[in-house]
Amino acid sequence: MKKSYLYSLAYLALVTSLVSCKSKSGTSDKTGLAYNKKEYGGFQVNNKFKRGPGPGLVEIEGGVFVMSGSAINVAGQELSDYNHKRETTVSSFYMDETEVSNTNWLEYLNWIRTNYPTDYEYYYNEIPDTLVWRRPLSYNEPYVDNYLRHPAYQDYPVVGVTWEQASRYCDWRTDRVNELLLRDQGYMTSFKDINGDTRSGVAEASERPTAPFNTETYLSGQHNDKGKKAMKDLSPTSAKAADAGANGKGATRTVRLEDGILKQPYRLPTEAEWEYAALGLIGNTEYENIHENKIYPWNGLGLSSAKKKTRGLILANFKRTKGDYMGVGGSLNDKGGLTVPVRSYTPNDFGLYNMAGNVNEWVADVYRSKTFEAADAFNPYRGNFYEDKKIADPSTGRIEIDKHNRPVMTAAVSARKQTWAEKQAAASKPADSVNTYADQRGYRDKANDLYGEITLITDKSRVYKGGSWDDQAMWLNPATRRFLQQDESTADIGFRCAMTMLGASEIRSMGKPQFKTKPQKAFKAGKR
């Protein structure tokens, strides 16, 4: 009997009860010193951490799968030219339930216009290329003018975005989610206190933030904003009097990464993550046995529903033949000439919509035809370019920021932690003297020197997957892969975001066999 693992919204409400593996004791089992006590040094440990996804994300429990294992086309032939089958393990992660929509992108543009009203270059650089709809022998001009901004298309996937724009959107989304979390929970000044309302009025200009919130600069201590429920500073050297007048609760501090409050960065999913999530084999798994493989994100060999109530309805938005984009008037098959709303059709067994069709989706990887012959079997990915935050003041560790309050990044110079002497010596070298360690995009790629010379493939070629409204059925297979330069865009490529899941790989242990562990014994001084 098939065991269903469909993820409903009600089921996701249980996320907040998930607790990662850690010591529940408030005392160190190695030193005997109590945590969270000022008299013992004030070392703070969050032993009540609860993990969960950020807004818009659903959980994807990782595991092993055969990457490209679904790689057969509708005629039953293997797609050996597109990928290479290989057993691969993907860590658990979070992924957007839907593609990013036009409304989501307009929110981004509105934020830029509001916070940088005189920086038109910044705004212009983030506007999608609506001219992607133009074709010499098609009348698509209405989409050029209306697709992004008109409310008729507000829930449709954004297109005309480059890989670079999508990556910057992920960074911006990270900061907005973390800022909302900190302000709503009182760790920072609330939005209500900053912007005011009809009762209290607008805050004085001196009380408003001087620069937009950025997660990295906040964690480096460069946002000295502490709200009414700011974290207590238990350090014995903290200046208690400094904050006593502000909130009457003694010294406070900003949130640290160790507190487990901030969310991990939103990012583009890796190709392996995307393919794993698209297949949704968890719905066909029972007791570690996958009893049915898939060609598409749904079961079966066909492209239409076999269920009684929806029998014959097309399961994704794609081009059925070279000229059939939506079927016959009065009985449309996929009900969309171009894109359709992001919550169309039936989600797969992870709860993800449109993992086949509607729009292709950018993934993080740099394209190479034979990446998976050489890539690691655990979380495979090609595209690493390691960077460090540029230090503005070595004596304090203060990081340098750009005009948009984002950290200035520099190429990493070492594969290991440098000694203090090495670090100081490296800081005195000119910027162009760094080694090539940072760039790993061509690692184990024998033909790397020829890319960009005799082929269209370069280090800026990025993978996209999933098939679209303008593709035929072959491209709906999650194993298929194509590439485009990261600064180019089309009318059939959009994206969705992902987020790393920290802690235990198993998402839900209830009802599953587990080893029992002994509780930590409390240490008492003087006892032997």
pLDDT band at 437 (very low <50, low <70, confident <90, very high): confident
Two tokens at 364? 């993080």
Least reliable range by pLDDT among 69-73, 215-219, 440-444, 476-480: 69-73
Two tokens at 214? 């950025």
C-beta atoms surrounding 236 within 10 Å = 10
pLDDT at residue number 447: 66
* Short-list 64, 63, 57, CA closest to 15: 57
Percent of the chain's residues with pLDDT above 90: 60
Q: Which has more confidence, 393 or 106? A: 106
Judged against a pLDDT cut of 70, whether residue 13 lies above it is answered with no
pLDDT band at 22 (very low <50, low <70, confident <90, very high): very low
Sign of torsion, CA 479 484 487 488? negative
At 205 the three-state DSSP class reads helix
Judged against a pLDDT cut of 50, whether residue 366 lies above it is answered with yes
Q: Which has more confidence, 454 or 418? A: 418
Judged against a pLDDT cut of 50, whether residue 475 lies above it is answered with yes
pLDDT at residue number 425: 81
pLDDT at residue number 113: 96
Mean pLDDT of 136-159: 97
Mean pLDDT of 227-242: 79
Q: pLDDT tens, 208-220? A: 678 899 999 999 9
Cβ contacts of 89 within 8 Å, gap of 6 or more: 62, 63, 64, 377, 378, 379
Largest CA-CA distance found in the chain, in angstroms, rounded: 88
pLDDT band at 224 (very low <50, low <70, confident <90, very high): confident
**Which residue has 């020829």 as its token pair?**
450
pLDDT at residue number 82: 55
* Short-list 163, 157, 123, 94, CA closest to 365: 163
pLDDT at residue number 525: 59
Task: In whole angstroms, give the CA distance from residue 212 to residue 93.
Answer: 28
Q: pLDDT tens, 39-89? A: 989 999 998 888 999 999 999 999 999 998 886 643 444 445 456 789 999
Residue 465 bridge partners (DSSP) = 361
Least reliable range by pLDDT among 133-142, 371-380, 465-474, 513-522: 513-522
* Short-list 12, 44, 7, 16, CA closest to 28: 44
Q: pLDDT tens, 182-200? A: 999 999 999 988 887 545 5
Task: In whole angstroms, give the CA distance from residue 249 to residue 162.
Answer: 49
Q: Which has more confidence, 103 or 429? A: 103
pLDDT at residue number 18: 39
Tell me if 342 sits within 8 A of 336, measured CB to CB: no
Helices (H), 73-190: 102-115, 120-126, 141-146, 163-184
Backbone torsions φ then ψ of 421, nearest 5 degrees: -65, -40
Least reliable range by pLDDT among 14-28, 88-102, 103-117, 453-467: 14-28
Judged against a pLDDT cut of 80, whether residue 14 lies above it is answered with no
Angle at 277 between CA 272 and CA 278, to 5 degrees: 100
At 102 the three-state DSSP class reads helix
Tell me if 70 sits within 8 A of 276, measured CB to CB: no
Mean pLDDT of 77-105: 85
pLDDT band at 296 (very low <50, low <70, confident <90, very high): very high
pLDDT band at 451 (very low <50, low <70, confident <90, very high): confident
Judged against a pLDDT cut of 50, whether residue 285 lies above it is answered with yes
Task: In whole angstroms, give the CA distance from residue 14 to residue 7.
Answer: 11
Judged against a pLDDT cut of 50, whether residue 493 lies above it is answered with yes
Exposure pattern of 1-23 as b/e (b: 16+ CB <10 Å)?
eeeebebeeeebeebeebeeeee
Helices (H), 403-448: 420-427
pLDDT at residue number 520: 72
Task: In whole angstroms, give the CA distance from residue 480 to residue 464.
Answer: 9
Specify the pTM: 0.90
